[in-house]
Chains A and B, each alone.
Chain A
């Protein structure tokens, strides 16, 4: 027997990164996914952003609308990639892959979190595209290494959060058809009930209340603070980080509980 005694937490972290590593290896074998995914944020920024910035319809205080929307589009890209992540899990269930991993001694939470992190890595190409376009369009970016590092961490955490949410839905509905339907239904409210493309100040009261319960709002707030030069946080960075980390942790724990359902 090769059972070695490893501290449970060390084992959990190690297994999480093993899962992430192999999700990323898959990406290395098929690069086209990264390229096609980079197109969507480019269209939002170039078309939607340009048009609304000209119309002057949005009052975004002392930052130009294009600057305002660039971090919002990054958050949106993260959301769109991550929210459909569960479809991969359903696919792996229709094959026998999920069952085989569940029959291995890997901690369930490591299977869930490892996949979530890999969704984060998948969104990094979009982040690069958004930074490049923002530079071209004259958005005043904050290039300090600490700010860039924070953007990276928030992007990966946000992707983990929404990918895990998506995985939970996949565990509940189990079929592709139902999942796609639900994914569409959930994406738009999450996106529009947030501060991604307009400030919450212009929202009607009820929507503003909802937006304050939406984790995407805090993701956008944190991204806006770190990505732009001279844009203070609305809710405070510690609250942003706390909401993101706490929500992710809770979702990973729920996901770990539900994941074994896929094998039945």
Chain B
């Protein structure tokens, strides 16, 4: 039996009268690649924000790497890495400096810092670019640097909110190659949201489809396809079945404009 690294119990978040996340319960195993799918406004980002301690839940509880997100927030923060959807490295610092500040903030011992940063840059294929200002990086390089930055302290769980939004197919593949390597080499659990079904299909051990704040379906890709019955269903049919029509009303103006802005910055 593998250990549970994420234990989510009836986790709920309300904004006024609107329930963004509605009593979701999920278990994620250590070393798993877990994808959270759903249309805009389904509650994916709100879920990630609660799990990364950025947003307190209205009710319910979750334990991340054994720590409670409500009463042990600082321990949770030490145990996780987070790659927000928007660009989260600083364009006016070099790649190396962006890593150095996080090495210091996460208390990496002084004598290990240089080795860790060098390793992280090499792992993400950025060794030659470490001394350049991040403002000059391409979109794919920015994302790889963000992943390097959030894994410098070897987190047990890495949360990624739409890690490949705005990237071209080649850059997306490169990002995924590095993410898979992270799991293989360090056993990092990956918990991510995406709109790209083919990514979920290729890389996820399990998938949860969220709809109107609830987990509408959960399982491996094969299981979900089989759940529709009759055989021969694609994941996109599964998605439409559980998450409703593609023309949903979800997603606020702010979400959409933030997502487009990110795509523009990276692309």
* Chain A residues proximal to chain B, CB less than 8 Å: 1-4, 6, 11, 14-15, 18, 21-22, 25-26, 29-30, 94-97, 99-106, 260, 263-264
Contact = CB atoms under 8 A, between A and B. Distances in A.
B50 to A, nearest CB: 10
Most A CB within 10 A of own CB, among B77, B107, B108: B107
A4 B111 CA distance: 14
Contact of B90 (A3, A15, A26, A260): A26
B133 A99 contact: no
A96 B106 contact: no
Contacts of B52: 103
B60 interface: no
B90 to A, nearest CB: 6
B220 interface: no
A119 to B, nearest CB: 16
Most A CB within 10 A of own CB, among B49, B89, B104: B104
A99 B82 contact: yes
A97 B90 contact: yes
B101 interface: yes
B53 A30 contact: no
A263 B85 CA distance: 12
Most B CB within 10 A of own CB, among A4, A29, A105: A105
Interface of B: 49, 52-55, 74, 77-80, 82-90, 92-94, 97, 101-102, 104-109, 112, 133, 149-150, 153-154, 258, 261, 265
- Cβ-closest 7 pairs across A and B: A96-B84, A96-B86, A96-B88, A263-B54, A103-B82, A100-B88, A105-B77
B105 A263 contact: no
Given A15-B105, A22-B90, A105-B78, 8 more contacts: A1-B78, A22-B97, A96-B85, A96-B87, A99-B82, A99-B88, A100-B149, A264-B49
Nearest to B74: A105
B93 A22 contact: yes
Nearest to B104: A18
30 contacts: A1-B79, A1-B154, A2-B109, A3-B107, A4-B107, A11-B107, A15-B104, A18-B104, A18-B105, A22-B90, A22-B93, A25-B93, A26-B92, A29-B93, A30-B92, A95-B87, A96-B84, A96-B85, A97-B87, A97-B90, A100-B84, A100-B150, A102-B54, A103-B54, A104-B77, A105-B77, A105-B106, A106-B105, A263-B49, A264-B55
A90 to B, nearest CB: 13
Contacts of B154: 1-2
B4 to A, nearest CB: 18
Contacts of A260: 54
B97 A25 contact: yes
Contacts of A18: 101, 104-105
A29 B95 CA distance: 13
A136 B55 CA distance: 55
B246 to A, nearest CB: 27
Contacts of A30: 92
Given A104-B102, A105-B77, A4 B109 contact: yes
A96 B91 CA distance: 12
A3 B76 CA distance: 12
A22 B92 CA distance: 10
B93 A2 contact: no
Most B CB within 10 A of own CB, among A1, A104, A106: A104
A2 B88 CA distance: 23
B67 to A, nearest CB: 11
